[in-house]
Amino acid sequence: MANDIKDMAVSLICDFSFGEIVRAIKTLLGLAVSKLWIHRVVKEYELDFGHNEGAYGYMADGTGENVCAQKRRKELRLIGEITRYGKLIIRSAVIKPYKSCWDRDSLVEILRKRKTQRPLVMGIGDEWIKQATFRGNPEAVFQRCKWHVLHHLKWLFWNQGVPKPLRREVFYILLNALKMRRGTNFTNVNKDIIRRKGEYLLALARWMDENGYMEIGNYIREASLYVFSVVTEELPAHVRWESSIGKMERLMRELNHRIDIGGVRVSEEGLLRVIQLKCAKITNAEAWKETMKFQPGIGENEINLRKAS
């Protein structure tokens, strides 16, 4: 019996050429490496997009430290890591000077401190990085965003001394306005209802401003923009509530979906849009104006950033 099995194996092997056997072994090893061994390996992908005047670059940890405010060659750098399933996840995207102002080791250390393999998804309460999970379920993202909104508002109400009856009333309004459980595809929902709910939240934010709760009003306004930009992204543009955070979340999600094992398959235009939105969100507006005063040639970069903001 053993000899029969041995003869059968030898005959099967002889049917294939040596090159085919080597390729099969390499394929199996590649799958094993991508699915089992490669875990939390930091990869860097760089794309030089030429000369841009007056562009800002920021540290990958989102601290807002200005590392590039002069006219010089810029590079776009994506920082990502490969999960155990072989999928590259973008962790950050930064504009860096041609002459490096920070080294690779510091960036790698920043990535390792996050201690997560979850895809990057923007969330409420975080300007740049939010370690939330997106596993192809838009409803889960919406519910998580709603939770972030309400959770942070509880702290704001307590911090600013909002009376308890008013707190209950505002939370009742918010829960009704955010009571949508259909994810991003609202094909069966009346669009007027969505529009009224968004306007309701913005009216509530204005009311909080008028009563002296400026921080709460600003937060409700930003949260409503973000949440409704996520849940209504499939709707026509005139019924969307856009914000730079919402746009960033969708762009980063789009980038993560377009990336396969073996390379980055993302257009240069898409990457630049991500960077422009990132800079527009983090850049201090007054510092930006002061810097641009001393630069006679502004070029298209500032125009794009203004549109993104």
The pLDDT tens digits for 246-264 are 444 454 454 444 433 333 3
Residue 31 pLDDT = 47
Separation CA 217–CA 206 (nearest Å): 6
Map residue 297 onto helix, strand or coil: coil
Residue 206 pLDDT = 78
Residue 50 maps to a domain: yes
Please check whether residues 151 and 222 belong to one and the same domain. yes
Q: CA separation (Å) from 30 to 33, 37, 52, 258, 260?
A: 5, 10, 39, 21, 14
Sign of the C-alpha dihedral, residues 236, 240, 245, 249?
A: negative
Separation CA 202–CA 173 (nearest Å): 12
Residue 132 maps to a domain: no
176 membership: H or E segment, kind and range: helix 164-177
Residue 8 pLDDT = 55
Residue 218 pLDDT = 74
- Domain end position, chosen among 230, 250, 270: 250
Please check whether residues 83 and 146 belong to one and the same domain. no
Number of Cβ atoms within 10 Å of the Cβ of 182 = 13
Residue 32 maps to a domain: no
Residue 222 pLDDT = 62
Residue 2 maps to a domain: no
Please check whether residues 93 and 153 belong to one and the same domain. no
Residue 265 maps to a domain: no
Please check whether residues 196 and 108 belong to one and the same domain. no
Please check whether residues 91 and 175 belong to one and the same domain. no
Residue 210 pLDDT = 78
Please check whether residues 174 and 239 belong to one and the same domain. yes
Task: Decide if 240 contacts 198 (C-beta within 8 A).
Answer: no
Domain of residue 42: give its range: 38-117+278-295
pTM above 0.85, yes or no: no
Task: Report residues of the chain scoring pLDDT below 50.
Answer: 31-142, 144, 180-190, 226-249, 251-252, 254-309
Residue 221 maps to a domain: yes
Map residue 84 onto helix, strand or coil: coil
Q: Please report where in the chains the tokens 């969100």 appear, as a residue.
A: 281
Instruction: Report the greatest alpha carbon distance in the chain.
Output: 90
Who contacts 70 (Cβ-Cβ below 8 Å, separation ≥6)?
A: none
Please check whether residues 159 and 198 belong to one and the same domain. yes
Number of structural domains in the chain: 2
Residue 48 pLDDT = 31
Residue 7 pLDDT = 60
Please check whether residues 151 and 104 belong to one and the same domain. no
Map residue 28 onto helix, strand or coil: helix
Please check whether residues 223 and 290 belong to one and the same domain. no
Residue 266 maps to a domain: no
Please check whether residues 246 and 287 belong to one and the same domain. no
Sign of the C-alpha dihedral, residues 286, 240, 147, 119?
A: negative
Please check whether residues 246 and 197 belong to one and the same domain. yes
Residue 260 maps to a domain: no
Q: What six digits make up the tokens of 302? A: 């500032």
Please check whether residues 149 and 202 belong to one and the same domain. yes
Task: Decide if 249 contacts 273 (C-beta within 8 A).
Answer: no
Residue 258 pLDDT = 42
